[in-house]
Amino acid sequence: MLKEKQHQLKEKLKLILNEVGHINEIKQEIGKDFKTRNLSVRRAMNVYMGIESLDTLNDSENDIRFLFLFTNALVNAARNKTDIEINAQDYFTKLEYNKWINFKAESKPENIFPLVFENVQQIADGIWQTTITAQRLAKLDTDNVLLYNFLTQRNPKITISGIKIDFDKHKAFEIRDRILSGEQFPDHIKINILKNYQEEIYYKNSVLTIGEKSIINMFDGHHRKVANSLAINDNPNLEFIWGLIITNLSENEAKDYMIQIDKQKPIKREQIKSWDLSRKENLVVSVIADDKISKLNKIMKDQEVEIRLNKALTTKNIIAEAIKDNYEIDETTDIRELGKWIIEFTDYLISLYPEEFITNPYAYKESSVINHKNIFYGYIALSASLRYNNRWKEVLKHKMQSIDFSKENAIWKDMGLYNRTIGKTLRKKLYKLFTEV
């Protein structure tokens, strides 16, 4: 199914459902259609009544098939009852139509409700805390119990083709890998039983029971939920337990809850990046940082603000990125040995210019770029090129003398050294400048 056709069909269905969504007879006929196919009617009913947005349907085969079956059931149910004009064959390929027109699941769906959670603590009125296994979370995801509500999510994605779930697949894969490797912390996933006065909630003796009439929104943890399902697909016997917060709030109250969470001071992204020891380049930087007499360690910090406050000359992220670009690091790399080499190299480099780097560095910033934060990209590249050169000290000294670090040298501005953001182009220019003979 082409994306353009998918968007057109969703918009057409939205208009139709706005007109006929109140007709109970059509809803019942759609439900019967899904039952005859041995499919759960819950999602179809939620979409028909507007509880689940059509915009949450993605490009997966399961969602495209659901869209086809729902459209086909709606057309059949509304025939002779309304003047709906829509033909599934106009939106789906001939292959999709032939594959799904007579689709029927092999077995009937099991009953999902009631949902029962044990060992539940009540934190406050309408807020509970418990745990959930990775397998059970994946089952709720597969059964489409945890609905995505655009009104209570942080940032839905607005595109030219409409509103979408703001989903970053790379983030989900990263979390999946952390779960499988045992590095993921079981932080709390948050779900909300929508307060619409039709919900069914029973709490007694540390047991929370949720009935079928309840609408359950996931309002914090969508990426973790997807990553969890991916992890279970790779390892069905995975032993992992998530924290789980269950609330019973209105949409506005749920939004206020999220605002409160977002107002809590977050860790800066650059600091998170430098702390992430799953990145091998950060392991090398940690070797440098653990060496108390390393000269480089004395002048590199976590955040760029420390450079602006004259408390550092470069950042750990810059050093790490330069290491990643210039050294081949794999499972066989001796991280400690590599770190010690960079320490030795930078100690000698800095000792050649003690005033510029140690005793009076910020005064030199007025006229020279020798200790500019981004110049350290070049220094690390030079260290990589000289790693196995027995005459590295002599070559290093000659190289430094050959470069005009004066701010009046137009080359620095031309290559973009002073740009606010540093991309691959500038890094490559610096690498070339420092490594070419």
- Domain residue ranges in the chain: 3-100, 115-263, 269-435
> Scanning the structure block, which residue is given the tokens 């940032």?
155
Q: Is 152 exposed, middle or buried (0-12, 13-18, 19+ CB in 10 A)?
A: buried
Look at residue 8 and give its three-state secondary structure: helix
Q: Residue 180's Cα: distance from chain center in Å?
A: 16
Distance, in Å, from the CA atom of 261 to the CA atom of 238, rounded to the nearest integer, reads 30
Contact 294, 288 (CB under 8 A): yes
The pLDDT value recorded for residue 258 is 73
Q: How far apart are the first and last CA of the chain?
A: 55
The pLDDT value recorded for residue 342 is 95
Specify the pTM: 0.55
The pLDDT value recorded for residue 12 is 86
Pairing of strands 201-204, 121-124: unpaired
Length of the chain: 437
Q: Is 351 exposed, middle or buried (0-12, 13-18, 19+ CB in 10 A)?
A: exposed
Please name the residue ranges forming H helices in 92-221: 94-100, 134-142, 169-181
Tell whether the torsion through CA atoms of 169, 172, 176 and 177 is positive or negative.
positive
Distance, in Å, from the CA atom of 383 to the CA atom of 349, rounded to the nearest integer, reads 10
Distance, in Å, from the CA atom of 10 to the CA atom of 389, rounded to the nearest integer, reads 64
Q: Is 157 exposed, middle or buried (0-12, 13-18, 19+ CB in 10 A)?
A: middle
CB half-sphere exposure, 356, CA atoms < 13 A? 16
Distance, in Å, from the CA atom of 268 to the CA atom of 271, rounded to the nearest integer, reads 5
194-221 residues labelled b (16+ CB within 10 A) or e (exposed): bbeeeeeeebeeeebbbeeebbbbbbbb
Structure token pair of residue 208 = 């929370």
The pLDDT value recorded for residue 253 is 80
Structure token pair of residue 178 = 């952390």
Phi-psi category of 199—alpha, beta or left, where left has phi over 0 and alpha has psi -120 to 50? beta
Q: Residue 76's Cα: distance from chain center in Å?
A: 40
The pLDDT value recorded for residue 250 is 85
User: Which residues pair with residue 208 across a beta bridge?
Assistant: 117, 203
The pLDDT value recorded for residue 417 is 87
Tell whether the torsion through CA atoms of 263, 267, 268 and 273 is positive or negative.
negative
Residues of the chain with pLDDT under 50: 267
Distance, in Å, from the CA atom of 237 to the CA atom of 232, rounded to the nearest integer, reads 7
